[in-house]
Amino acid sequence: MAGYRRQLYRDDAVVLRVQKLGESDRIITLLTRRHGRLRAVARGVRRTMSKFGARLEPFGHVDLQLAGDPKGEQGSSLHTVSQVEGIDLYGKRFLGDYPRYTAASAIAETAERLTPVEREPSLRLFQLTLGALRALADGEHATTLVLDAYLLRGMALAGWAPALTACAVCGTPGRHRAFSVPAGGAVCPDCRPPGAAHPAPATIDLMSALTVGDWRVADATENGVRRECSGLVAAHLQWHLERALRSLPLVDRGGLPSAPGARRPTGDVGTVAPAGAVLPPDRASQDVSRERTE
């Protein structure tokens, strides 16, 4: 638009992803507190003399000054980063920790998938994402518990929370033994569809505890229960997203090779869907149940 001058505005944000642009620039995907998810160009940040290149790394909480229309009604859809100050660069705390780094990658990818519309404010998701990254950096809870708690609460914000205390089909209250991803969660015997999983009661209790933030119960669970919970949560999330998360197969669920190039067993519930493919949700649930019975 002729005569349009890009306005400046400030916001704080979580850095979700970075992409190379040209020889020295980057495109930064941000989840901001007041303006939702947006993308901005950071010019010259790949040069060795860049003043703020190190502050715009994934998983950091930063304060930004951006040039562009915050509503996206004028000018380019890509904003420009003019100033940036680091509030807390969480990524530096677990850069060499493979389990925490891959869990943070899954959190960032999920946050991006749950905000399909740019510049649509999502304060609760921003606070949830920031809190999950802080929990990973502090290391007070097991990595997989933090990740699964984030995925469950993120689905709740999106309206996809699995039914855990009542039948997902008929609404009959109580603890039900069967769990069906297409049905929406726990199902009673009368509503149980073919191929539904039968997780341990402790697994459903763990999912409920993670949803409400009862860390006393969550921290006391055994590793097998956590793995079964992770399989159900991942299957439920990817069913609603209608595609796989590329970062989930890389998450170290414990007891498996953690090197980035290591091959994982085909029966690992952490690989509910391989990168770039979607495993049918009924099959994912069956794999979880089969591993438990074996």
**Contact criterion met (CB below 8 Å) for 208 and 271:** no
Q: How confident is the model at residue 266 (pLDDT cuts 50, 70, 90)?
A: very low
- For the chain, give the mean pLDDT: 83
List pLDDT tens digits, range 185-194.
999 999 999 9
Confidence of residue 129 (pLDDT cuts 50, 70, 90): very high
Higher pLDDT, 49 or 146: 146
**Higher model confidence: residue 208 or residue 93?**
208
pLDDT of residue 44: 83
Burial state string for 16-52 with b = 16 or more CB within 10 A and e = fewer than 16: bbbeebeeebbebbbbbbebbbbebbbeebbeeebeb
Query: pLDDT class for 165, splitting at 50, 70, 90?
Result: very high
Map residue 96 onto helix, strand or coil: coil
Length of the chain: 294
Residue 35 has pLDDT above 70, yes or no: yes
Q: Which pLDDT band holds residue 54 (cuts at 50, 70, 90)? A: confident
pLDDT tens digits for range 67-110 = 887 776 665 678 889 889 999 999 888 888 999 999 999 999 99
**What is the pLDDT, as a whole number, of residue 200?**
95
Give the per-residue pLDDT at 75: 57
Q: What is the pLDDT of residue 13?
A: 96
pLDDT at 45: 83
Give one DSSP letter per residue of 240-276, joined into a string: HHTS--TTGGGS--SSS--STT----TT-TT-SS-TT
Q: Which amino acid is at 165?
A: T
Q: Tell me if 155 sits within 8 A of 240, measured CB to CB.
A: yes
Say how far residue 132 (Cα) sits from the centre of its chain: 9
DSSP type of residue 36:
E
Determine the average pLDDT of the residues in 15-23. Answer: 90
Q: What is the CA radius of gyration of the chain?
A: 21
User: If you average pLDDT over residues 257-285, what whole number do you get?
Assistant: 34
Mean pLDDT of 148-165: 96
Between residues 15 and 46, which one has the greater pLDDT? 15
